[in-house]
Amino acid sequence: MLKARTSLLSRVLARSYATAASPHALVFLEHRQGELDSASLSALTAASQLGGQVTGLVVGSPEEVPSVVEKAKRLNGLNTLLHSASPQYSTFSAKSILPRVAAKLDVPAVSDITSLEHDAASGSTTFTLRASSSIPIKFFTVRSTAFAAAGAEDAAESEIKALDPVEVSDAPSEHLSTSLTKSDRPDLGVATRVVSGGRALKNAETFQSTLYPLADALGAAVGASRAAVDAGYADNSLQVGQTGKVVAPELYMALGISGAIQHLAGMKDSKLIVAVNKDPDAPIFQVADVGLVADLFEVVPEMVEKLKQ
């Protein structure tokens, strides 16, 4: 009797259960001037964490796509690479395209996720919320600072497939030109050090004369709060926050920034946050690792002089 029960238990323990297959991910690979966007490389890392096949998609003008494909085909985690070229594909932004495609398919889109995992038992995908397994296609963008950028070290070449472009004869819009802010400083989105200024900088001239020498001494990128951008102190490409760029450098210096919630959302994951503000009750001090209640116009020049020594 005991032997029979043991045999039955063994069969129960050995029984296998069907589980949902890992999802197939399609990653829209953005690029600019022949270089892959770092945020797209982070999205590729996120997609690889799902455990299934990963396909990349590169679209753009006929002049740009070939060189981008050459750089993308050996990216870690990429199994297949699709590409298509057309003059009508000259300007594309994932954050503007994906919600529109999701709406066409009548499925939700989730933006700016910070973690992701696949539940093999239920077939659902977890971000900070759970996307039901009843949703056949899931659209999401990732917070680039939450995922490491995919590299190309020792990666096998992915399968490459060309797609015929879809030509639209009556396109409602036309790309005329692209205007980019050029700077010798590191790119704000990927810089390891960032010096940001707020409304306390008074005007554009003071913003530049105060922050730029410190940024140059540190080899840092320059950022700005939304208030500073709205006031015309800095270009909107330098805005850090929920409605600007999300950064997570090794060092983030907040000078004259009060610490509004939308700004904190864009820099709170920085490794070391240094804040200088005359207001001891400024919210920025709640997230700062190092805080100094002082006049930034006295502190910053002193820091620059010491860094030059």
Lowest-pLDDT range of 1-15, 25-39, 133-147: 1-15
pLDDT at 120: 56
Taking CA 241 as the corner, what is the angle to CA 210 and CA 238, rounded to the nearest 5 degrees? 45
End-to-end CA distance of the chain: 87
Average pLDDT value for the chain: 84
Q: Which uninterrupted H or E stretch holds 110?
A: strand 109-113
Cα dist from 17 to 24, 28, 57, 94, 110, whole Å: 21, 34, 34, 38, 31
Confidence of residue 13 (pLDDT cuts 50, 70, 90): very low
d(CA 188, CA 247): 7
d(CA 55, CA 78): 6
Of 116, 109, 96, 103, which is closest to residue 42 (Cα–Cα)?
116
Return the DSSP state at 155. Answer: P
Cα dist from 196 to 44, 48, 273, 278, whole Å: 29, 33, 11, 16
Identity of residue 10: S
Res. 16: pLDDT tops 70: no
Cα dist from 286 to 8, 164, 193, 243, 296, whole Å: 60, 53, 20, 21, 18
Taking CA 233 as the corner, what is the angle to CA 227 and CA 238, rounded to the nearest 5 degrees? 75
Mean pLDDT, rounded, for 50-71:
92
Q: What is the pTM of this model?
A: 0.68
Confidence of residue 181 (pLDDT cuts 50, 70, 90): low
pLDDT at 118: 61
pLDDT at 10: 36
Please give the residue that has the higher pLDDT: either 138 or 180.
138
Cα 41 to the center of its chain, rounded Å: 9
Q: Which two tokens stand for residue 171?
A: 């396109």
Mean pLDDT, rounded, for 103-110:
87
Cα 44 to the center of its chain, rounded Å: 11
pLDDT at 139: 83
Identity of residue 154: D
pLDDT at 284: 95
Confidence of residue 134 (pLDDT cuts 50, 70, 90): confident
Res. 2: pLDDT tops 50: no
Mean pLDDT, rounded, for 150-158:
78
> Is-contact 194 240, C-beta < 8 A?
yes
Name residues whose C-beta falls within 8 Å of residue 305's C-beta, 6 or more positions apart in sequence: none
Please give the residue that has the higher pLDDT: either 58 or 150.
58
Please give the residue that has the higher pLDDT: either 23 or 257.
257
Confidence of residue 69 (pLDDT cuts 50, 70, 90): very high
Q: Which two tokens stand for residue 80?
A: 């297949």
